[in-house]
Structure 1
Amino acid sequence: MPGERNYRYFLLFLWYHSVLCFYAAYLHCQILAHMSWDVYRLHEAYYLDSTGQHVRVSRWQAFQYLLIRHNVVVAVGIFCLVIAIALLAFWGYHMWLIRCGTTTNETFKWSDLKYELERSARRAGGSVSGTRVPPNIYNRGFLRNLTDVVYPKSSRP
């Protein structure tokens, strides 16, 4: 099967790109921290309030200043963080599928089967809790399932 050999690379792609996007978000935070601390020296900044007193600029005000001055850097950093979280969640979903020993399509079919069994038990007037979904014969446990993904049977000697 062609897809069987590609799944490990797809999982690696998701993991690598989520780490890369987290790293990019971290770098954007470091750039903004450098701009705040060394370039604009916002930790020393103050303003005069209505009574003429010196008031230190808060972190929120410093962030707002950076957002106005460097909106592209802030936007790209936030975008990288959001994409990293989405990629990591998608990778986690696929790891859950591996743990269950199913594909995305099979997961929907198992859920449909469970629904139909419960519906037929309700029609017959029986107990829904006694309805059992047959075991998945392809689920061999997380480690064996993961081994089959990383080292598929079709590529073994």
Structure 2
Amino acid sequence: MEGILLFILFALTTGSFMYMLVCTDSNSRTPMGMIRRKIYTSGPSITKKLLGDKIFVKLQQFYNYVFYTNNRLGQIAYFVIFWVAFGLYGKFGLLKHFGNTPYVSHIHSVCGSLIFMFCNYFFYRTCTTSPGIITKENNDEYVKQFEQYYDEVQYKQNTSCSTCNIIKPARSKHCRICNICVSRFDHHCIWVRQCIGQKNYKYFLLFLFTHIFLSLYGVVAGILCLFGIAQKQQLFKLTYKNAVTGEIHPATFFRVFTVISNRETFFVFIIFVCLIFFVTLTAFFLYHLNMIRKDLTTNERIRKNDFEKSFLNEMYELQEQQKRKKDDDSIKRLAQLKQCWNSLNKKRVQGLYEGLRIVFSQPN
């Protein structure tokens, strides 16, 4: 049984890491960006050699289906993981230890259940609230609203969406998965089966925050329960005999934790699951807060990195060309590239408070 629990814990940890890799920009200079580039450049060829062409094609088709089609697998996975995790915590924590240890009373069972309900509510609101769909009827309204963001680099005026046949407002994007143009497009989220944009971004942030709070609540309450069990059973007052040397040792936190882990294996396991959720979701939440502070979306950050990479390569080639031979065309093009570079790197920091105020003031 312990082997199964360790496997599930390993699968959850690996899954969380892989999900963060998928959400990471491949051009990012962060460690996660470097790992993603390495995996995406070397991973397919290594996988093909290890598993063969047929299995590799099937895995590639499954990957494309999960991440690039409008399916319900993400929502189903969310319910299975989240409800099963809470059910296990309820059975081995809330019902068994809450109220039976000195530090965690029954009131925490009520508080934890209420937070769980808020998590489900904000998941529902994120799934059902429109991200801000741009149509022919409201096209002009969105164009005027984001007029100041036309920089003629990332966003050019009077550019049309060939699919929707409308003028593309700045900060918008046509999602090929949902087949709609979304205002202030951030990303397409497989967990909620729709895009995250101008109208539902606030619910997405609350969705993340409530899940982070519930995970942290579970970790803290669980640790206090374990500490209470140790005190109730006077485990810190016991002595332990070394089976090899026969020496008698006083209790340490590690020895006490080992004893409790053997007696409360499922409860300790689910606390570790809560910790994994907390770390993963907190990292993702802090990333979005930083984007809000900088007045950027995930889509804009990725586009900006792609543009910068392209501009840097072309500027380097033109500069090398000018060293050998100068001509008017290359000088003019280099000046244009530098102007675009300055436009891309123009800071638009609005501050976290102002950014959150704008996000939460958006109507549904």
Relative to structure 1, the CA distance from residue 96 to residue 81 in structure 2 (aligned partners, 3 Å threshold; closer, same or farther) is same
Q: How many residues align?
A: 152
Q: Distance in 1 between matches of 2:281 and 2:294?
A: 20
Higher helix share: 1
Per the TM alignment, residue 85 of structure 1 is displaced from its structure 2 partner at its CA by 1.5
The amino acid that maps onto 2:356 is: L
Superposition TM-score, scaled by structure 2 size:
0.38
Secondary structure class of the residue paired with 2:249? strand
Q: Distance in 2 between matches of 1:102 and 1:95?
A: 10
Which residue of the other structure, out of 136, 141, 151, is the alignment partner of 2:350? 141
**Further displaced range: 30-39 or 52-61:** 52-61
**Further displaced range: 97-106 or 114-123:** 97-106
Which residue of the other structure, out of 276, 286, 305, is the alignment partner of 1:82? 276
Q: Distance in 2 between matches of 1:87 and 1:125?
A: 44
Which residue of the other structure, out of 45, 50, 61, is the alignment partner of 2:238? 45
Per the TM alignment, residue 28 of structure 1 is displaced from its structure 2 partner at its CA by 0.7
CA deviations on 1:44-78 (whole Å, 9 max, x unpaired) are 11134577664312221111111111111111111
Unpaired runs of 5+ in structure 1? none
Secondary structure class of the residue paired with 1:47? strand
Alignment of 1:54-93 (within 5 A): 54-93=248-287
Matched, 1:96 2:259: no
Alignment of 1:29-40 (within 5 A): 29-39=223-233
- Structure 2 equivalent of residue 150 of structure 1: 360
Unpaired runs of 5+ in structure 2? 1-131, 134-196, 321-336
Matched, 1:4 2:231: no
Q: Is the 8 A contact 2:239 2:250 kept in 1?
A: yes
Per the TM alignment, residue 147 of structure 1 is displaced from its structure 2 partner at its CA by 2.2
Per the TM alignment, residue 91 of structure 1 is displaced from its structure 2 partner at its CA by 0.8
Task: Flag the structure with more relative contact order, 1 or 2, with Cα contacts below 8 A and sequence separation at least 6.
Answer: 1
The amino acid that maps onto 2:206 is: L
Matched, 1:118 2:315: no
Per the TM alignment, residue 20 of structure 1 is displaced from its structure 2 partner at its CA by 1.3
How many percent identity over aligned positions?
A: 25
The amino acid that maps onto 1:122 is: Y
CA deviations on 1:98-156 (whole Å, 9 max, x unpaired) are 12222211111000111111001111026xxx94341478946124433221112xx39
